[in-house]
Amino acid sequence: MQYHPFGNTGESLSRIGLGCYGMSGAYGAADEDEAIATIHLAMDLGVNVLDTSASYGQGHNHRLIGRAVRDRRHKVFIHSKTGTIRTPDGRSAAEGSGTPERLREMCETSLQNLGVEALDAFCLSRVDPTVPVEESVGGMARLVEEGKTRFIGLSEAAPGTVRRAAAVHPLCSLQFEYSLWSRDPEGGHIAVARKLGMAFIAYAPLGYGMLAGGLATAAAVAGDSRAKFPRLQGDNFERNRVLVEGLIEIAATLRATPAQLAIAWVLSANPDVFAIPGCKSRRHLEENLAAAEIALDDEVLKKLDRLFPAGAAAGDRYPPDGMRRVNL
């Protein structure tokens, strides 16, 4: 495993962390025993950061992680997001999710569900367009003062917003979708995080499973939360699958799997970026962690750049209402 200083926290964290979202039923059925075994194996293999959110499984993810780390809390950095509000029709909404009152409630509920005294990082899932970011971050800073979280961070925030927020209180991390087919953070997000002493965390480095090569047709995600993603639908899926075939070919020349190559690309393209591939089984975990050992030379990096130039993916990364809530 490779380790790197996590922003200005003084912590050295594994460059591959474990994304726990899928363990609460987002991508197919959840299996709690396998999920807990996966978290334990991850820690045994050197992973010391878990990514989660108050909204994953409406508290299920936190209760699961709480059980898994009960006897090893001091060995893992819990990076937990605030979650967004659920509307009565089941959609998630950023509006109203960033008030200091709600953030306090989410933090306290998270501590209860996790069964821990403090979070390591409490991260604003989405900038609330109805609340100035200074106000949200001011509320989160009070939680730091009260010892409810050690650090705070942002997710899907635009560079200018990150600067405004960091002027209120130091931030430990910026989390943003970043992968071979989602290259927006190269437009300033990684740079602003670096400049402000924050860790940049690449979420969905496997393109929600697509870049891992295991999704052969759009029908594979029909029953789960990914069915709403434009890139995994209809013609877009077919066009994106051609890119994945190219990735599979390059991976074969390296005796690697496409998942390993996709993760190795995130780590190689930026030596200080963290990746949090999500998985809910030990089999995928072991495969993914081996990516830390794969060094990509310039020739491979150039091949991947040619295959995935900016904008190569067909379709937006989220449906229209999701796109309105990102990069704010």
* Local structure of residue 173 (DSSP, 8 states): E
**Which residue, 143, 170, 142, is CA-closest to 154?**
170
Q: Which amino acid is located at 131 in the chain?
A: V
CA 203 to chain centre: 3
Which of 106, 137, 162, 206 binds ligand NAP (CB under 6 A)? It is: 206
Residue 259 as a binder of ligand NAP (CB under 6 A): the answer is yes
Count of residues that bind ligand NAP according to CB under 6 A: 30
Site string for ligand NAP, 14-53 (x = CB under 6 A): -----xxxx----x-----------------------x--
Contact call for residues 250 and 307 (beta carbons, < 8 A): yes
Residue 62 as a binder of ligand NAP (CB under 6 A): the answer is no
Residue 61 as a binder of ligand NAP (CB under 6 A): the answer is no
Tokens coding 230:
């434009």
Give residues 127-146 in contact with ligand NAP (rule: CB under 6 A): none
Beta strand 12-14 with 3-5 is: antiparallel
Residue 200 as a binder of ligand NAP (CB under 6 A): the answer is no
Give residues 267-296 in contact with ligand NAP (rule: CB under 6 A): 276-281, 284, 287-288
Of all residues in the shown chain, the one whose CB is closest to ligand NAP is 278
* Minimal distance, residue 199 CB to ligand NAP, in Å: 13
Which of 212, 218, 244, 313 binds ligand NAP (CB under 6 A)? It is: 212
Burial code (b: 16+ CB inside 10 Å, e: under 16) for 83-96 equals: bbbeeeeeebebee
Considering only 102-110, 137-145, 208-216, 264-272, which stretch makes contact with ligand NAP by CB under 6 A?
208-216
Taking the least distance from each CB to ligand NAP, the nearer of 109 and 281 is 281
Tokens coding 269:
């393209």
**Which residue, 180, 244, 236, is CA-closest to 214?**
244
**Residue 203 designated active-site:** no
Q: What is the 3-state secondary structure (H, E, C) of 192-250?
A: HHHHCCCEEEEECCCHHHHHHCCCCCHHHHCCCHHHHCHHHCHHHHHHHHHHHHHHHHH
Residue 209 as a binder of ligand NAP (CB under 6 A): the answer is yes
Residue 175 as a binder of ligand NAP (CB under 6 A): the answer is yes
Angstrom distance (rounded) from CA 283 to CA 72: 22
* Minimal distance, residue 274 CB to ligand NAP, in Å: 11
Q: Which amino acid is located at 218 in the chain?
A: A
* Minimal distance, residue 287 CB to ligand NAP, in Å: 4
Q: Which positions touch ligand NAP (CB under 6 A)?
A: 19-22, 27, 51, 81, 125, 155-156, 175, 203-209, 212, 214, 259, 276-281, 284, 287-288
What are the residue numbers of the active site?
A: 56
